[in-house]
Amino acid sequence: MKVSFRKRIVHMVAAVWIAAIVLPTGVQANSDSTAYPDVPTDYYASQEITVLKQKGIVSAAEDGSFHPDDAVTRGDAALWLSKALKLNKPKSLNAFTDVKVTSPYAEAVNSLKEQNIVQGNEGLYQPDSPLTREQMASLLVRAFQLQDNGIQAWLKDETTIGKVHHDDVMKLKQNFITEQLEFMPQNQVTRAQLVLFIYRTLSQKEETAQGLVSLDDFVRMPDKVSMRLSPDSKTLAYLQPWENRMNVHIQKVGETQSTRITSSKDENIHSLIWITDKILIYTVDSGGTENQHIRAVHIDGSGDMDLTPYTNVKSDLLDILPAKEESDFELLLTMNKRDPKVMDVYRVKLSTGDTKLQIQNPGNVVYWQTDNWGEIRTAIARDGDTTSLLYREDEDKAFDKITTFDAKDTFIPVMFSFNNEQIYAASNVGRDKQALVKFDPITKKETEVIYENDEVDIDNFIVSYKKKAMLAVSYETDDMKMHYLDKEFEELSHKIEAKLNTRHWNLVGSPDKNLLLLYSGSDKSYGTYYLYDRKADKLDKIDDIHPKIDESKLADMKPISFKSRDGLIIHGYLTLPKGVAPNKLPVVINPHGGPWARDSWGYQMEVQLLASQGYAVLQLNFRGSTGYGKAFLHAGDKQWGKAMQNDITDGVNWLIKRGTADPERIAIYGTSYGGYATLAGMAFTPDLYAAGIDYVGPSNLLTFMNTIPPYWELNRSQMVQQVGDPIKDKKQLEMVSPLLHASQIKSPLMIVQGVNDPRVNRAESDQMVEALRKLDVDVPYMLKRNEGHGFQKVENERDFYQALIHFLNQNVKNKKKPA
């Protein structure tokens, strides 16, 4: 078993590359035990050798020592693997002529052969031969069924790997079993190195089952979601998994049996809307391209028809035109079929799919609005920095530009008044917070403020066509709240709150029905659907969305706030792991996407997953977030990587100062703009974060601004105002583009991207990975070819979250402190 001194040096150098492995929580060696007399406690693989010895997987040589730096034989490798896999005794002991039935390796080798894990060569196994690193890769991949998870593995010596072993070596790299830049495929594996590789593989298999709730439970598709009640209140429609994809199912009210009426095997169905008592429409895109198709289907599953059967066309429902007969129903759809940059309005017959152009976009309209009879009478147009309201009295007349708004103002027509004469709009014109107002298109003036909140923008409203009145307006501070405009509806709402024992519920559909569909959720639950019979004052539970999740094991999401360095109040949410003292915790900073969006209180799967794994999660509504008024939104203008990033940094320091965060174990992870904030944090505050995960984030603001999808083109001036002009602001954008400062990144980084992403081009991730690899910095780069701006398919979500957990655990939670 002895090898030359030169080979020992090679093995020891190789061991340095893989010695960064750490013991996951819950898999510890007994502190008072030692493995073998020739394995000192400070040896790089001492703990791992001890653990595998305690598990009965590895054993000493004949002299009682372990000889960690000696080459491991193929026989010992088989013996250790069979024990790690807990294989049954083989049916036969004669698979190989050079492994006699009396050999100590006979059972192990033959068991592995029966499982197709070892193959041999011309009937020989060669049990006394040393194991090479590429042979080890194939053994581990077959033994533990390691799969291609989409990570684009990179090895500097990839061309030296034997063809038969190449894919297996790459799978080892994809699954974080090896992390070095050079694999040295023909080198012999030492006994200590094989222990590390087996230990790491076993740990990864166990890792996702750790935590209060397993990864499998978290990523399992919801049982029933997007539930809708038919116009006649007799049938429920919802999305439910079939063949690992969300499909439309229907269920009679009062019954428990359901019927699947769609058969989408490739893509998830995203949303559904009742058109008549017998017909629904639903939406589906292809591979994350966001070129959404709108399809119609009857409740018996017949007549499934694509109403928008066009390639590379984005479609949306604008309105449903009133009709007396089911066969006469028509839809108004917006599509960029004629010109990729703009959305025209088309009239589509529901029964046949016959389509005709209803109104052609003049080239500057970004938003259309119909009146109560489905006539298109208002629109919002953009001409450079100018935003205008267009109006016409009826469809026989041309549109007139009736008012123009400041570049920082928002005015969104949401519906016409019940006499079709005035416009209800969400507006912050002349005020800081967005309010629900009435606007007279004849006098061109705001005539009434329906509701305005002093702290935040309005969020939504509830309208009764039966009463011809606004019933309530919702707004969001720390969580969603309601301002009532109708006494009867307020009393009804409080009655429902008392029955549900929570104020966190929403009405799904019209408030005018006798039978109301309700949704109730929380920060620890996907939620539950109910039916409430107003006349009988009876509440019936339909179903939980995700009954497999045990709410008692999940963590509380608490609202927080602090002052930024320049005095702005920053709001957000802190989720602490359940049952752990909130002191010196590993932390994940999770900036939201958009950035013109906000984080909200409620159930968020990945936040609960991270908390279940022992992380505190901080979410921040940094300046530039929506919902907090015009001044706060535009305080983020041209502040990517600057004041917006400072708000995130200030949040980290606030968490450190209060003692919650361990300053050595803080990660940053975000999607879209949150991915950019991750890269910016890693490049511009490199000592703050132990690791980062960028998920579909822009890396270079110059290239990002030049690759936006065509249907964003009319909003380019708004993006220039808020991000920067690639020409006029070139120096500033270069200064805050992480790609151009890649050499400043110190900590481990992982990048995740969908090939078909229309919002953040794949090149944004490619170029960041390439820049770091040129600096000899390895970056796990997960690239999924059938996804877009965020993964939608359950198998891809599982690959991502499994990699995320391992990457964070290794580099943050279980990070080894410098000696």
Residue 28 vs residue 462, higher pLDDT: 462
468 CB neighbour count, 10 Å cutoff: 11
Q: Given a cut of 50, is residue 9 above it in pLDDT? A: no
Specify the pLDDT at position 623. 98
Q: Is 789 a catalytic residue?
A: yes
Q: List, for residues 600-622, the tens digit of each pLDDT value.
A: 999 999 999 999 999 999 999 99
3-state secondary structure of 668: strand
Q: Given a cut of 80, is residue 482 above it in pLDDT? A: yes
Specify the pLDDT at position 818. 56
Q: Given a cut of 90, is residue 756 above it in pLDDT? A: yes
Specify the pLDDT at position 6. 32
Mean pLDDT, residues 513-524: 97
Specify the pLDDT at position 60. 86
504 close to 480: Cβ distance less than 8 angstroms? yes
CA contacts within 13 A on the Cβ side of 793:
18
Phi then psi for residue 523, to 5 deg, are -75, -15
Which pLDDT band holds residue 33 (cuts at 50, 70, 90)?
Answer: low
Percent of residues in the chain assigned helix, strand, coil, to nearest 5 = 25, 25, 45
Specify the pLDDT at position 204. 81
Q: List, for residues 622-662, the tens digit of each pLDDT value.
A: 999 999 999 999 999 999 999 999 999 999 999 999 999 99
**DSSP characters over 91-139:** S-S-S-TTS-TTSTTHHHHHHHHHTTS---BTTB--TTSBPBHHHHHHH
- C-alpha distances in angstroms, 383 versus 97, 284, 394, 400, 488? 82, 32, 24, 15, 45
User: Where do the DSSP E strands lie in 585-686?
Assistant: 585-589, 616-621, 661-671
Q: Given a cut of 90, is residue 668 above it in pLDDT? A: yes
Q: List, for residues 301-342, the tens digit of each pLDDT value.
A: 999 999 999 999 999 999 999 888 888 999 999 999 999 999
Over the chain, what is the mean pLDDT?
93
Q: Is 672 a catalytic residue?
A: yes
Amino acid present at 576:
L
Amino acid present at 470:
M
Give me the residues paired with residue 317 across strands: 333
Tell me which residue of 390, 313, 318 sits closest to 347, measured CA to CA.
318
Mean pLDDT, residues 730-749: 98
Q: Which of 67, 166, 789, 806 is catalytic?
A: 789
Q: Given a cut of 70, is residue 23 above it in pLDDT? A: no
Q: List, for residues 130-168, the tens digit of each pLDDT value.
A: 999 999 999 999 999 999 999 999 999 999 999 999 999
Which pLDDT band holds residue 123 (cuts at 50, 70, 90)?
Answer: confident
3-state secondary structure of 597: coil
Q: What is the distance in angstroms between the CA of the first residue and the CA of the last residue of the chain?
A: 32
Which pLDDT band holds residue 817 (cuts at 50, 70, 90)?
Answer: low
Specify the pLDDT at position 327. 86
Phi then psi for residue 107, to 5 deg, are -65, -45
269 close to 283: Cβ distance less than 8 angstroms? yes
Q: Given a cut of 90, is residue 265 above it in pLDDT? A: yes
CA gap 606, 615 in Å, rounded: 11
CATH fold group of domain 555-813? Rossmann fold (3.40.50)
Give me the residues paired with residue 569 across strands: 563
Report strand pairing: 480-484 vs 661-671: unpaired
Q: Which of 625, 672, 747, 765 is catalytic?
A: 672
3-state secondary structure 326-385: HHHCEEEEEECCCCCCCCEEEEEECCCCCEEEEECCCCCEEEEEECCCCCEEEEEEEECC
